[in-house]
Amino acid sequence: MKKIAVFTSGGDSPGMNACIRAVVRTANFNNIKVVGIMNGYKGMIDGEFVNLTTESVANIIQRGGTILKTSRCEEFKTVDGRKTAYENLKKNQIEGLICIGGDGTYTGAEIFYNEFEIPSIGIPGTIDNDLYGTDHTIGYDTALNTAMDAIDKIRDTADSHNRIFIVEVMGRSAGFIALAVGIAGGAESIIIPEDTEDEIRLFENFRNTNRRKKSFSIIVVAEGEKGGSTYIYNKLKKEFPQLDIRTTVLGHIQRGGNPSARDRILATRLGVSSVERLLEGGKNECAGMINNKVCFTSYHDAIKTKKQLPTYIYSLINILSS
């Protein structure tokens, strides 16, 4: 292999730049040239390629977002789009791919490998942490800390005004952020799409006249929960009109900012190992870190297997909020 390409795709996540830097420097260390594909799969179709050198990835390890930009690309879902992308890679003598992103990125990469057999390795970059084959995804830790800081600030107002605050955090169809930040932020309840009983428990708590009198409460709701925070707000307000309730949707602030040390280290280790794997003949698989060891899982398994929530940690909320 003489030349590989790297790109970021799907939602940006803090640590993607640290990962790009590790990929480029590991390839260069092994005398392999690296091309950066701008704007994810869209740039692969449009032929937006830039040469990346050790110098061009200097001073990016600390930056959020992605210097290669990113997109969610509908055209890559078509056979014609992928054929154009393949022709562009061939024209540029690209022999391997490093694909940084979430499940949509992996799905595209698997289909592309099956059609054109260009070896590719995926790296989990998403704040949602919803990818099988790794304990944590790149960006998850930073997003947690951002959301936790926001909740700490909201607590001040909740406490001063004796209010209930419903805080909606990201997680398209998964409650990983909500669960972790709910525990770290001292929430009274956590509402996630994986649990169908949590809403019932929330209302039972408020109905229970023997419960400890609290002057204020934080309820963390995952974005992926049916109806989100607005639905919970309306239902609570209807049954308990006397409560002073406010809703805060944290939104995209969770995706930005400088990556935490944990995310930079994860991104760096996965970036280095993925290039090494590609050079050893790896293909059609993605990197992850389980119990502090780098491992690889086929795209197929990573896409098809649902990552389980840490149920023990989830069970703690009932003890801690009692």
Residues that bind ligand F6P (CB under 6 A): 11, 72, 102, 126-128, 170-172, 223, 255
**Smallest separation (angstroms) from ligand F6P to the CB of 29:** 31
Nearest distance in Å: CB 12, ligand F6P = 8
Query: How far, in whole angstroms, is CA 23 from its chain's centroid?
Result: 19
CB of 160 to ligand F6P, least distance (A): 30
Residue environment code for 241-257, b if the CB has 16+ CB neighbours within 10 A, otherwise e: eeeebebbbbeeebbeb
Residue 155 Cβ vs ligand F6P, minimum distance, rounded to whole Å: 23
Q: Is the dihedral of CA 93, 96, 101, 106 positive or negative?
A: positive
Rounded Cα–Cα distance for residues 159 and 182 (Å)? 17
Q: CA 123, 125, 126 angle in degrees (round to 5)?
A: 150
Question: CA torsion, points 47, 10, 284, 14, in degrees to nearest 10?
Answer: 110
User: Minimal distance in Å, beta carbon 7 to ligand F6P?
Assistant: 16
Give whichever of 98 and 170 is closer to ligand F6P, judged by the CB atom: 170
Catalytic option among 12, 46, 80, 128: 128
CA dihedral for 88, 272, 124, 57, sign (positive or negative): negative
**Rounded Cα gap, residues 22 and 17, in angstroms:** 9
How far apart, in whole angstroms, are the C-alpha atoms of residue 66 and residue 52? 14
Q: What are phi and psi of 315, to 5 degrees?
A: -65, -20
Measured CA distances, 242 to 164, 212, 217, 274 (Å): 11, 18, 14, 56
Instruction: Say what the alpha-carbon torsion angle 47, 48, 49, 52 is, to the nearest 10 degrees.
Output: -170
Q: How far is the CB of 73 from ligand F6P (least distance, A)?
A: 12
Query: In the complex with ligand F6P, which residue's Cβ is closer, 72 or 269?
Result: 72
Least Cβ distance, residue 322 to ligand F6P (angstroms): 30
The question of whether 128 is a catalytic residue gets the answer yes
User: Of 126 and 247, which CB lies nearer to ligand F6P in the complex structure?
Assistant: 126
Instruction: Identify the CA nearest to 275 among candidates 54, 20, 10, 59.
Output: 20
Considering beta carbons, is residue 86 or 103 the nearer one to ligand F6P?
A: 103
Number of other CB atoms surrounding residue 237 within 10 Å: 14
If the CB atoms of residues 72 and 163 are measured against ligand F6P, the closer one turns out to be 72
Cβ-in-10-Å burial (0-12, 13-18, 19+) of 289 comes to: buried
Nearest CB to ligand F6P, comparing residues 34 and 232? 232
* CB proximity list for 172: less than 8 A, separation 6 or greater: 128, 130, 223, 224
Q: Smaller CB distance to ligand F6P: residue 28 or 71?
A: 71
- Catalytic machinery residues: 128
